[in-house]
Amino acid sequence: MPSMIIGDRIRLLRETKKLSQGDIEKRTGLLRCYISRVENGHTVPAIETLEKLARAMEVPLYQLFYDGEEPPELPNLPKRKSADDIAWGSAGKDARYLGRFRRLLGRLEEEDRRLLLFMAQKMVGR
């Protein structure tokens, strides 16, 4: 979204709330000249600054980007994979390799298993 649109939206919300740039300056600690630069599209504020501005105007952050009464509907995004879905050894060639490794580990004596674990930790630590 271009900064001009964000700036216009911030000004509109501020004026709707009957707040001056000075009021926003007092509530946020941001300088009035900076607020003016944002509203006029000369500066693109960081998300932290947008959060301050939204709090100062007592509006949810999404209203700085969207003028509906309710938050916008979220698109039907693909489901993110969980840690279990992307864990190494959970599918394919890696799963076969891990299964074979588990079977072999099961045949080792406890002392040899501890030695193998110790060696693996040393190799990872390098």
Q: What is the pLDDT along the chain (126 residues), one digit of tens a residue?
A: 444 588 999 999 999 999 999 999 999 999 999 999 999 999 989 999 999 999 999 999 988 887 766 777 777 777 776 666 677 777 788 888 888 888 888 898 999 989 998 999 999 886
Interatomic CA distance for residues 98 and 112, integer angstroms:
18
Residue 39, exposed/middle/buried by CB under 10 A (0-12, 13-18, 19+)?
buried
CA end-to-end distance (rounded Å), the chain: 46
Other beta carbons within 10 Å of 8: 14
Interatomic CA distance for residues 40 and 81, integer angstroms:
41
User: 12 and 55 share a domain?
Assistant: yes
The total number of structural domains in the chain stands at: 2
pLDDT value at position 125? 83
pLDDT value at position 47? 93
Q: Identify the domain containing residue 46 by its residue range.
A: 3-64
User: 8 and 57 share a domain?
Assistant: yes
Last residue of a domain, one of 64, 79, 107: 64
Interatomic CA distance for residues 119 and 125, integer angstroms:
10
CATH number, domain at 52? 1.10.260.40
* pTM given for the model: 0.54
